[in-house]
Amino acid sequence: MKNIRIFDTTLRDGEQSPGCSMNLQEKLEIAARLEALKVDVIEAGFAVSSPDDFEAVRAVAGSVRRCGVASLARATEKDIDAAWEALKGAAKPCIHVFLATSGIHMEYKLKMTPEEVLAKTSAMVRYAKGLCPTVEFSAEDATRSDPAFLARVFSAAVAAGADVINVPDTVGYAAPQEIYELVSYLRANVAGIGKAVLSIHCHNDLGMAVANSLSAVKAGADQVECTLNGIGERAGNAALEEIALSLATKRAFYGAETGIDTKQIYRASRTLSGIIGVTPTPNKPIVGANAFAHEAGIHQHGVLANPLTYEIMNPADVGIPSSKMVLGKHSGRHAFEDRLKDLGFDLSGEALTAAFGQFKKLADRKKAVSDEDIAALAGEQTLEIADGYHIERFVVNSGSTISAMATVKLSRGDEVQEEASTGDGPINAAFNAISRIVGGGHELEDFSIRSVTEGGDALGEAVVKLKRGNEIITGRGLSTDILEASIKAYVNGINKMAVRR
């Protein structure tokens, strides 16, 4: 059985998706989840692109020990030097060099001839290899490149020392059969192909990123590049969870498998959704809310008789909580801690104490606390910013015959401030009061709220997107009270904005 390497680019290509930016602590949390998933490589960022990205790559490189850690770099010495400087602390560093090879990119973007691209590929791969033990070379827009020229470029990269050659479908243009034929052609025509890992990187513009990636595997690709929940530029990337479960479910057909610990998928997906404020659509394969739901009577009857009638995967295989036993206000810390471990969370010290405290408060409001509630509470601990604003109290008045008014009191260190404001509604009034306290400089780009579980006493999750200049920052809050959840989310976004500033 062939082992397919999983190269995750959630922190680089995924984060480039509008509204999906993350701060340093959030990137480290995602990196920890990816390491628990047992991906082979984490692409931590594009080190030269900004000081924030450089620090993120360096921090992930220093924290991750089992996985490889990569940084993207254009085919220039400046980019490669920055990537290596950020990666030096990694246990398994990888410099990921890219250069476009399609006619349209070479003519209009690079303004280089094919021979110049060949020469630069050789020179920059050789330069990167002189610094780093592992080098990946990507031919940007490979699927719109001339196959014969692409084979020459990859042959030059392998000769210069590339350990991985990557075939990106950069604009999501290819179809599965085209990918199969291209990968087959490259396996037959790239000189020294046996010395390198052949990788595929597909975008989802036409909805075929996963199908194209699997076609590449069938044709002989050794590595798939993908992201959690399929996030990424434009329509996104191939979804890691769909690749992993497709290969696990159809292992015999593909003759291949991955080293992914699939039971960590649900937690990783939920962690990412909580951080970026983008929840997968209900019908999203593997991690969508309806992925294992059965409403039709004939389906329900079949599943009750034998789950295999309508379920080709077991929900437990991807770590979806079973919710067979609920905890309540009389449950103790030990039971709570055991349940956290069952759900894949390893909290300790202040984080565990804080989560247990929130659990007790929630249990006083709800008759029973479900696994989904507990997972949400545990995830909320990653949102806290110690030196940021904290909510002391709030009062909101609203009705059909009066103008909405809110008074909010926040503290930060020894400083306590309170402001009142009106608004178009109670939430808008509360947001306006908070903005008065923090001094503005931002605008509300988007706001949403959803229930974490079912029922009238469900835990609500609010998400705000705040815009400052060209930057969009996501804030998140949880409570059974939607006003409180909304205010928490807004304050969380303000705190994250201050950290980035």
- How far, in whole angstroms, is CA 99 from its chain's centroid? 25
Say yes or no to pLDDT of 471 above 50: yes
Q: Bigger pLDDT: 62 or 302?
A: 62
Q: How much is the pTM?
A: 0.85
Q: Bigger pLDDT: 459 or 210?
A: 210
Tell me yes or no: is domain 2-276 CATH 3.30.70.100. no
pLDDT range class, residue 384, cuts 50, 70, 90: low
Q: What does the pLDDT read at residue 321?
A: 67
Say yes or no to pLDDT of 301 above 50: no
pLDDT for 15-70, tens place per residue? 887 778 888 988 999 999 999 999 999 999 999 999 999 999 999 999 999 999 99
Q: How far apart are CA 454 and CA 450, in angstroms?
A: 10
Say yes or no to pLDDT of 323 above 70: no
What is the token pair recorded at 202?
Answer: 């597909």
CATH class, domain 385-500, is alpha beta
Say yes or no to pLDDT of 459 above 80: yes
| Range of lowest pLDDT (298-312, 360-374, 485-499) | 298-312
Residues of the chain with pLDDT > 90, as a percent, come to 65
pLDDT range class, residue 387, cuts 50, 70, 90: confident
Q: How far apart are CA 113 and CA 141, in angstroms?
A: 16
Say yes or no to pLDDT of 120 above 90: yes
Q: How far apart are CA 274 and CA 266, in angstroms?
A: 12
Say yes or no to pLDDT of 303 above 90: no
pLDDT range class, residue 290, cuts 50, 70, 90: confident
Instruction: Domain ranges for the chain, please list them.
Output: 2-276, 291-320, 322-382, 385-500
Q: Please report, in angstroms and rounded to a whole number, the separation of the first and last CA atoms in the chain.
A: 49
Q: What does the pLDDT read at residue 299?
A: 46
Q: What does the pLDDT read at residue 324?
A: 47
Average pLDDT value for the chain: 90
For range 462-474, the mean pLDDT: 87
Say yes or no to pLDDT of 167 above 90: yes
For range 133-154, the mean pLDDT: 98
For range 93-102, the mean pLDDT: 98
Q: Bigger pLDDT: 379 or 115?
A: 115
pLDDT range class, residue 383, cuts 50, 70, 90: low
pLDDT for 183-209, tens place per residue? 999 999 999 999 999 999 999 999 999
Sheet with 415-423, edge to edge strand ranges: 390-397, 404-412, 415-423
pLDDT range class, residue 311, cuts 50, 70, 90: low
Q: What does the pLDDT read at residue 307?
A: 61
pLDDT for 168-177, tens place per residue? 999 999 999 9
The residues facing 394 across adjacent strands are 408
| Range of lowest pLDDT (47-56, 340-349, 466-475) | 340-349
Q: How far apart are CA 250 and CA 200, in angstroms?
A: 19
Q: Which of these, 165, 226, 262, 203, lies nearest to 9 by C-alpha position?
A: 226
Beta-carbon contacts of 18 under 8 Å, excluding residues fewer than 6 positions away, are 472
Say yes or no to pLDDT of 293 above 70: no
